[in-house]
Amino acid sequence: MSDATLVKVSSKGLITLPKKIRSRLDIHDGDYLMVSSDDDRVIFRKAKIEIDYENPDDAWKSYSKRRLADE
């Protein structure tokens, strides 16, 4: 199934994910996406982040960076 849609990159490198893609992939405000590249393609994947409520905020930030890097 092709979801090809033309989007423009802003001067700050921002793009808007089309609503039909966000809906199909269940992507919501505040979700994290993994971004990688393969030859001439940019690949976005929804990241799974588990919140550790027992650690202070600084520990959570460090933990989340490690989790994103490991996936």
DSSP 3-state of 46: strand
pLDDT, position 49: 74
pLDDT, position 58: 64
How many whole angstroms separate alpha carbon 20 and alpha carbon 5? 10
pLDDT digits (tens, 9 = 90+) for 7-64: 999 999 999 999 999 999 999 998 889 999 999 999 999 887 776 666 656 666 666 6
pTM tops 0.75, yes or no: no
pLDDT, position 4: 83
pLDDT, position 47: 85
